[in-house]
Amino acid sequence: MACSLGGALAGPIIVEPHVTAVWGKNVSLKCLIEVNETITQISWEKIHGKSSQTVAVHHPQYGFSVQGEYQGRVLFKNYSLNDATITLHNIGFSDSGKYICKAVTFPLGNAQSSTTVTVLVEPTVSLIKG
């Protein structure tokens, strides 16, 4: 079993590789974890160039933590140790980019997979009398 995967539907971490979100709306980022090992922590991170920013963390003993600009905007949807899907509320253009869902397991270590979010503006239709 591989310890690290890069954004696919195969392996221990299942995500949607590409998600399209609508500006001002909500979007769910799926993360299903299929491992037989003990999960000690789950986290979501957003990639910024060569660095990453923690979005949300869940530890079975210590609970949930949502970081920085994501406070009040991110919720775990149907949380269990096998479903770390999050809902991101009130999407903005700055939410575009690559997100990684990580599971820390014992004894095998980390498993992860990534999803890329594209934010679009909802089209409007205008009727002009003429």
> Would you write out the chain's pLDDT as a tens digit for each of its 130 residues?
333 333 344 468 999 999 999 999 999 999 999 988 889 999 999 999 999 999 999 998 898 999 999 999 999 988 788 899 999 999 999 999 999 999 998 888 899 999 999 999 988 887 888 7
Q: Check: pTM over 0.75? Answer yes or no.
A: yes
Question: Per the omega criterion (within 30 degrees of 0), is the bond before 123 cis?
Answer: no
Give 58's contacts (C-beta < 8 A, 6+ positions apart). 41, 42, 43, 64, 65, 76, 79, 84
To the nearest whole percent, how much of the chain has pLDDT over 90?
A: 65
> What is the pLDDT at residue 5?
36
> What is the pLDDT at residue 4?
37
- Is residue 1 situated within a structural domain? no
- Is residue 5 situated within a structural domain? no
Please give the backbone phi and psi of residue 95, each rounded to the nearest 5 degrees, phi first.
-80, -10
- Is residue 105 situated within a structural domain? yes
- Is residue 6 situated within a structural domain? no
Sign of the Cα torsion 74, 28, 102, 118 reads negative
> What is the pLDDT at residue 107?
84
> What is the pLDDT at residue 2?
36
Q: 28 forms bridges with which residues in the sheet?
A: 87
Domain that holds residue 93: 13-120
- Is residue 17 situated within a structural domain? yes
Four-point Cα dihedral 79, 85, 90, 93, nearest 10: 150
Structurally, the chain folds into a number of domains equal to 1
93: domain CATH number?
A: 2.60.40.10
> What is the pLDDT at residue 11?
66
> What is the pLDDT at residue 15?
95
- Is residue 128 situated within a structural domain? no
- Is residue 68 situated within a structural domain? yes
Compute the half-sphere exposure of residue 28: CA atoms within 13 Å on the CB side of its CA: 11
68 contacts 94 by C-beta, under 8 angstroms: no
- Is residue 96 situated within a structural domain? yes
Q: Which residue has the tokens 């910024």?
A: 48
